[in-house]
């Protein structure tokens, strides 16, 4: 019974931080996301990280832990809450394979998780080549700005280089949430 209550709480956490209604604006739904699917090898490094996520939305802060591994052949992400696996992604550069706990709602979209990971961590040149028309990304060292038709959609700041070390803060202006990712190497 206690596990069921925890899973329900986890689902509510995920829904509150990862889903919102699509805004009705002039760009329409067809360009709501970039659709990035960059090869793991394009990261240019192999990483294994433990991450703690703080999601700020509507005056609330929620937390989630993840384990992320990327090498030249694959990306593997596991989402954990209270030590329980609730979500996993495996991406080999062509196919995205996912697993989710039955209590994780369908509105949590693995493709969007992959896209945000790649916007945050992959080299700017790889991202620029893959962006659809209208989208742009600027990189000013420890900050990235993602725009659609010159309208800022997302701002990403880094505490240090390489980008996957230290703390990353992503502010999504379109969907109104802040995500702080605290990473440490998985030794």
In the prediction, which pLDDT does 104 show? 72
What per-residue confidence (pLDDT) applies to 2? 43
pLDDT tens track for 79-102: 988 888 999 999 999 999 999 988
Higher pLDDT, 28 or 174: 174
pLDDT at 173: 92
Burial 70-86 (b: 16+ CB within 10 A, else e): beeeebbbbbbbeeeeb
Each residue's pLDDT tens digit, 47-90: 999 999 888 888 888 788 999 999 999 999 999 888 889 999 99
Q: Which CATH architecture has domain 2-19+38-185?
A: Clam (2.50)
Ranges of each domain in the chain: 2-19+38-185
pTM above 0.85, yes or no: no
């Amino acid at each position: 019974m206690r596990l069921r209550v925890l899973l329900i709480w986890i689902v509510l956490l995920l829904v509150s931080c990862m889903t919102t209604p699509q805004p009705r604006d002039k760009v329409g739904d067809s360009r709501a996301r970039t659709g990035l699917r960059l090869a793991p090898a394009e990261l240019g490094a192999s990483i294994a990280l433990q991450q703690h996520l703080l999601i700020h939305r509507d005056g609330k802060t929620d937390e989630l832990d993840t384990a992320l591994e990327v090498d030249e052949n694959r990306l593997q992400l596991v989402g954990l809450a209270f030590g329980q696996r609730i979500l996993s992604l495996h991406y080999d550069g062509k196919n995205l394979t996912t697993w989710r706990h039955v209590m994780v709602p369908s509105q949590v979209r693995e493709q969007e998780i992959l896209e945000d990971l790649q916007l945050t961590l992959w080299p700017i040149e790889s991202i620029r080549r893959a962006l659809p028309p209208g989208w742009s990304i600027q990189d000013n060292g420890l900050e990235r700005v993602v725009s659609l038709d010159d309208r800022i959609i997302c701002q990403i700041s880094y505490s240090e280089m390489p980008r996957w070390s230290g703390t990353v803060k992503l502010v999504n202006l379109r969907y109104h949430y802040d995500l702080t990712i605290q990473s440490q190497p998985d030794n």
